[in-house]
Each structure stands twice: as C-alpha cells, then as structure tokens.
C-alpha cells in the first residue's frame, strides 16, 4: 500500500464516521427550528457564546452539556444491567455503521488507480443496510424488556410488531428496484442513475419506480420510528415507551441514534431513488471533460447566492423590539463578513482551476468534491422532509398502522414487482 | 325548547382520502407555507420576546396581593379574619391587635401571606368587607432563592402600590 492508499482509506473512514455525527447537530437543529417555523414560532434562539448564536446551533451544545452532566442512574428494580446498558449502544452503533456502504461520490481515479468512494467498499451494499437497520430494532426491544416497566415493554412490543410489518414491504420494494438496476452494489446503483432516459430525463429511481418510492419512503419512516409511526416512543400514549427508564447520556444515545438513523435512511433514499451523488444531466465523465466551464458558472453563481444569503441574514438577524445598539445587528455583521470571506476563498480555488490548467487528478478531485456536495445537499433536503412530515402528520392509530402495512403496502409492493418484472422482460 | 343540532359531515371515507397520499401532500403544503413565511421574514412569527417584552396586564388580572390604605395613610384592614377564613389554601395568617388610630377597634399586628401556598383564586379579595386586600399590583412573577422571602409580611403588602387607577379598577366588572 502506498501512502496515498492509506490516506484515502483514512479520509473515507473519517467521512463515514464524522458526517453522520455532524448531521446529528444539524438534524436536531433543523428539527427544533423547523418545528418552530412550521408552528409560527421561532424555536430555540437564545443560547449564545459571546453573543454568537449561530442561528440556534449553540443550543445543541447546551443540550449536550446538560445530557452529559445529568445523573446517570439505573433504577433499582432493573435486574439485567448489562442488557440495559447495551441497548442504547446497539441503537446508536447500528445506525452509525449502516452508513458505511453508502457511496458519496463516483469512483475517484488518481494516477491510474481507482478508489471507490464508500467507507467500506462492499459489494453487498443494500443488504448490509437492511441487516444493520433490522438489527437496530433489537436495541429498542432490549431496552423495553430490560427496563422492566410496562410502558417500556409496550414500546418494545409495538416496535417489534411494526418492524415485522414494515420490513417486508421495504424488502419487496427493494426487490423491484433490484430488478431494474440488476445489482445490489450501491456504487453501481448510483452510477446507473447517471444515465438519461429518452436522452433528456435523468434515470433516477424515482422515475423508474414511482410506486416503489412511496412504499420505500413510508417503510423507511416506520423503520426509523419517526412520526407518524413513532409507536415505540408514543409520548402521549405510553409516556416515553422504550426509553422511559433511561436518563442522562444513555437516553442521549437513543436520541442521537434516532437522528443518525434519520440521516442514514435519508442517505439511502437519496442513493436508491434520487440519483445518489449524481448531479442531473452532468455525469462524471461530462464533468471531467467540462470542468473549466462548470468552474466558471460556479464562480458567477457564488457571489449572487452569497449576496441574497447575506441579505437574508441582515433582514432576519435583528431584534423584534426596540433595543438600543442592537447586538444582533453586530452579530449579523460578523456572519456576513464570514460568508463573504468563505465565498472569496472558494472563488480563489475555482480561479486557480480555471487559470492554471490542472492535471487530470486535480479535475477528478474537483468533480468528486462537487458530487459530495450534491450528495450532502440531497441528504439534507431528505432530512428536512423527515422533519416536515413529523410536524405535519399526527400519529397513526395502532390498528391503522398494521392495516396500512399488511393490507395496503404489502399487496402494493407485490403488484409493483409484477409490473416491474413484466416491463423489464418485455424491454430486454 | 328545541335543541340546536348541527350535523357534522364525516370525513375520510372517499377514495381519495383513503389513499392518504393526496391528503398528506395537502397537509404538507399548508405546513410548508407557514415554514416558508417565517423563514423569509421571522418578524411575522406570533411570538412575544418575553423577558424583554412584558405581556399587557389588565385590571382583571389577579396578581400579587397588597393591602390598601385610607387617604390619610392608615390601613383599611380591620382584622375581621374574613379572608383568612375564606382562603382555600390557608395561606393567610392574621394576628389581631388593638387599634390606636381611632378608625375602628381592631387592626392586624401581623398579616402574612405565604405566596408558595397561595393559588391566586381571589377569594380573599371578594370576601373583604373593607376593600382592604386587592390583587391589582400587576406582579405576576414572584421568584426567590429562599422560602422565607416568599412569605410577604404586612409592611411589604402595604408598601406595594396598585398598578391601575381607581376608575380602571372599578371597571373590571367583578
């Protein structure tokens, strides 16, 4: 192994480990501010460090400090302390590990060697994801059972029944998807979606499998235990469900695990149905060939976007009551300066790309960075959809949940397999 | 007398509604409208920035108690124990003594209200025959780091002024 090989391994593992953890902060922030905005409130916006609130992101730090320093207690009636402690670890760990197979950029070719941009370059791809998310529910069941609490048990039971009901449609939706793509390798699935249908429509899963998208997304919502399927927690019915006996960072692990699971399932939805890292109409080879025009377009777009973004900051980062020497305006000035400095730095990098004709390797790295940005943007939007749905829909009734799973989604996914197979056979 | 009957149409039985998806998207459109409106201009949110912007208190609001005085500064209270007897949470404790200023025969020598016990029901105000106790100070937030300072004595109750004019207080319609 050369040094470059080792560096690439480190970079990929770092990406796979840190991006989901970073997205916890972004997810929690998006959830709380998003909930606020949807309900015509503002959400948490007071926490600050030296007056800098970062749009409410500092609140996450405060929450983290609170969770870590709370008393970490195990109730006296709990007999199986090992399983009790193991449960949150399982939930968090499986959620984090399932991100490992998701490709975040096309294969990087450096000096004739190709590097698959996955944390763990496995061929089994989607099966790994199914196995890991399926295992996450064991954590929830274990937590419910070892809590030795009726609400905990109910939460665990509900979660188990729900997962059985929704894993099947999810698996079947994936089967019909595999019929289309002809592979379980997520890198190849993402590459497949870079093609064009009839020469002008991006060949994304959402266009090839419209029914499959609906089934998969509904099942993925159920899989991550989020509203309208948050039966395991069921705050208004069974208090807090499976994590009722947990406090401090053990509760924190469940909480963080939920957001990691949300990000990972957004990532898998994006990879399977929304083209993964693909930028529509710009396949990898096209981007490599036209790197300089793309860089010029980006250079022109960036100041415009920054201009509107800074205007938005200027308009919204003010106090809504009479206040002398408004500190929020001062804060906004700093943010706007940072925005322009960042924009200038990116412009400079793009300029070097345009002026000095870079080597093939440089162009490849540029393309990979663009694809990573595209992937993260799509995943963020999908995370927002999770938040958006949570604050729109109330929880289902339990029998409605089972009815939807067994009587609607299951037959629909079977029909979907038949139709897909028929079309694929007819076309080939 | 006939009872007014309003027949509500039961929703959710048509095919479109049973599909869920159409209705889900309609709901999501509504919530996104709210989200987008606040995102573009967050001054449109229905929020009071509380510690800086105080809520408006009306004369009907039952705030912290005070003891009223005659125009010459002597207290109106005659230690009749009406408020203490009426109090459902037993937070008022009065000790009566002889009155020396000639207004009547009795006056309290000790009048304490334990605000940790008080449920702010206003029965004491209604029971008082002398209009001696009122809850019109407009104080809605009583905080302290020790219990003893939340038990308000006679001097403090007498010293607190009312927040409203006499006309406004009379117009509160109780």
Distance CA B122, CA A129 (A): 63
Distance CA A260, CA A255 (A): 9
pLDDT of residue B124: 92
Q: What is the token pair recorded at A330?
A: 């001062």
Could you please report the per-residue DSSP string of B15-33?
A: HHHHT-HHHHHHHHHHHHH
Helix, strand or coil for residue A418?
helix
Average pLDDT of chain B, as a whole number: 88
Exposure b/e, A88-101, CB count within 10 A at least 16 = b? bebbbbbbbbbbbb
What does DSSP assign to residue A143?
Answer: H
Burial of residue A298 (CB within 10 Å: 0-12, 13-18, 19+) is middle
Mutate to test the interface with A, among B12, B17, B18, B20 (most CBs of A within 10 A): B20
Contact A321 B28 (CB under 8 A): no
pLDDT of residue B36: 93
Distance CA A101, CA B123 (A): 69
Helix, strand or coil for residue A305?
helix
Distance CA B73, CA B80 (A): 19
Nearest to A124 by CA among A102, A93, A92: A102
Helix, strand or coil for residue A243?
helix
pLDDT, one tens digit per residue, over B144-157 is: 899 988 999 988 89
What does DSSP assign to residue A241?
Answer: G
Distance CA B35, CA A38 (A): 4
Exposure b/e, A242-260, CB count within 10 A at least 16 = b? bbbbbeebbbbbbbbbbbb
ipTM, 2 dp: 0.85
Distance CA B135, CA B33 (A): 43
Nearest to A149 by CA among A255, A252, A240, A253: A240
Distance CA A24, CA A234 (A): 22
Q: What is the token pair recorded at B149?
A: 């300072």
Task: Report pTM.
Answer: 0.84
Enumerate the H helices of A48-201 as residue ranges: 58-69, 81-97, 126-146, 150-181, 186-192
Distance CA A14, CA A8 (A): 10
Distance CA A46, CA A331 (A): 13
pLDDT of residue B174: 63
Distance CA A101, CA A126 (A): 8
pLDDT of residue A4: 80
Distance CA A241, CA A157 (A): 10
Contact B41 A40 (CB under 8 A): no
Exposure b/e, B56-87, CB count within 10 A at least 16 = b? eeebebbbbbbbbeeeeeebbbbbbebbbeeb
Residue B128, annotated as binding a ligand: yes
Task: Tell me the chain A residues in contact with residue B24 when contact means C-beta distances shorter than 8 Å.
Answer: 389, 392-393
Domain ranges of chain A: 3-278+358-427
Contact A392 B39 (CB under 8 A): no
Identify the closest residue of chain B to A218 by CA–CA distance: B21
Helix, strand or coil for residue B65?
coil
Distance from CA of B163 to the nearest CA of A (A): 23
Residue B91, annotated as binding a ligand: no
Q: What is the token pair recorded at A323?
A: 């206040």
Residue B121 vs residue B103, higher pLDDT:
B121
Q: E strands of B26-102, at which residues?
A: 66-67, 92-98
Residue B128 predicted with pLDDT over 80:
yes
Beta carbons of A195 and A112 less than 8 angstroms apart: no
Phi, psi values for residue A147, rounded to 5°: -65, -25
Radius of gyration of chain A (CA): 23
Q: Would an 8 Å CB–CB cutoff place B45 in contact with chain A?
A: yes
Burial of residue A266 (CB within 10 Å: 0-12, 13-18, 19+) is buried
From first to last of its 428 residues, what are the pLDDT tens digits of chain A?
688 888 888 888 888 888 888 889 899 999 999 999 999 988 888 888 887 888 888 898 898 899 889 888 888 888 888 888 898 998 888 888 888 888 888 777 777 777 878 888 778 888 888 888 888 888 888 888 888 888 888 888 888 888 888 888 988 988 988 888 888 888 888 888 887 777 787 888 888 888 889 999 998 888 888 878 887 777 778 888 788 888 888 888 888 888 998 999 999 999 988 888 888 888 777 777 787 888 888 889 999 999 999 999 988 888 888 888 888 888 889 999 999 999 999 988 888 888 877 777 778 888 888 888 999 999 999 999 999 999 998 888 888 888 888 888 899 999 999 999 998 888 88
Beta carbons of A147 and A84 less than 8 angstroms apart: yes
Contact B38 A42 (CB under 8 A): yes
Q: Would an 8 Å CB–CB cutoff place B29 in contact with chain A?
A: no
């Amino acid at each position: 192994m050369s040094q470059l090989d080792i560096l690439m391994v480190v970079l990929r593992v770092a990406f796979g480990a840190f991006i989901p953890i970073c997205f916890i902060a972004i997810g929690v922030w998006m959830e709380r501010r998003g909930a606020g905005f949807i309900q015509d409130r503002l959400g948490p916006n007071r926490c600050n460090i030296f007056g800098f609130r970062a749009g409410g992101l500092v609140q996450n730090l405060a929450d983290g400090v609170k969770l870590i320093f709370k008393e970490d207690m195990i109730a006296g009636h709990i007999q199986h302390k090992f399983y009790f402690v193991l449960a949150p670890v399982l939930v968090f760990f499986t959620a984090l590990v399932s991100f490992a197979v998701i490709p975040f950029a096309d294969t990087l070719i450096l000096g004739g060697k190709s590097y698959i941009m996955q944390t763990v370059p496995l061929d089994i791809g989607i099966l790994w994801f199914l196995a890991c998310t399926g295992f996450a529910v064991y954590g929830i069941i274990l937590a419910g059972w070892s809590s030795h609490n009726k609400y905990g048990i109910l939460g665990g039971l509900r979660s188990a029944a729900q997962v059985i009901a929704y894993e099947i449609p999810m698996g079947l939706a994936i089967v019909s998807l595999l019929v289309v793509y002809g592979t379980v390798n997520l890198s190849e699935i993402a590459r497949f979606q870079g093609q064009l249908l009839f020469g002008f429509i991006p060949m994304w899963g959402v266009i090839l499998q419209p029914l499959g998208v609906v089934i998969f997304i509904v099942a993925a919502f159920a899989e991550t235990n989020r509203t309208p399927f948050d039966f395991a927690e069921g705050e208004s019915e069974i208090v807090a469900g499976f994590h009722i006996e947990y406090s401090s960072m053990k509760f924190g692990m469940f909480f963080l695990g939920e957001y990691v699971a949300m990000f990972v399932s957004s990532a898998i939805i994006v990879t399977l149905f929304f083209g993964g890292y693909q930028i529509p109409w710009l396949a990898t080879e096209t981007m490599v060939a036209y790197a300089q025009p793309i860089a010029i377009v980006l250079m022109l777009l960036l100041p415009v976007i920054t201009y509107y973004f800074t205007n938005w900051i200027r308009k919204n980062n003010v106090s809504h009551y009479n206040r002398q020497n408004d500190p929020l305006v001062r804060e906004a000035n700093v943010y706007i300066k940072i925005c322009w400095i960042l924009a200038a730095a990116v412009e400079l990098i793009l300029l070097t790309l345009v002026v000095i004709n870079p080597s093939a390797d440089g162009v490849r790295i540029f393309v990979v960075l663009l694809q990573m940005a595209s992937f993260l943007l799509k995943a963020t939007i999908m995370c927002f959809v999770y938040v958006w749905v949570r604050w729109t829909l109330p929880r289902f009734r339990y029998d409605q949940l089972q009815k939807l799973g067994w009587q609607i989604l299951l037959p629909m996914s079977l029909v979907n397999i038949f139709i897909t197979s028929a079309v694929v056979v007819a076309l080939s | 007398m006939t009872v007014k009957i309003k027949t509500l149409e039961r929703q959710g039985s048509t095919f479109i509604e049973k599909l869920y998806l159409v209705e889900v998207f309609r709901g999501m459109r509504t919530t996104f409208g709210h989200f987008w409106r606040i995102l573009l201009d967050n001054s449109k949110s229905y929020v009071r920035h509380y510690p800086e912007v105080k809520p408006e208190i009306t004369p009907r609001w039952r705030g912290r108690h005070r003891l009223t005085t005659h125009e010459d500064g002597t207290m109106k209270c005659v230690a009749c124990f009406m408020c203490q007897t009426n109090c459902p949470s037993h937070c008022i404790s009065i000790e009566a003594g002889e009155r020396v200023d000639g207004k009547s025969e009795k006056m309290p020598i000790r009048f304490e209200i334990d605000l940790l016990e008080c449920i702010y029901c206003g029965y004491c105000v209604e029971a008082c025959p002398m209009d001696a106790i009122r809850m019109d100070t407009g104080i809605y937030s009583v905080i302290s780091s020790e219990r003893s300072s939340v038990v308000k004595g006679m001097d403090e109750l007498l010293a607190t002024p009312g927040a409203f004019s006499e006309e406004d207080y009379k117009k509160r319609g109780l």
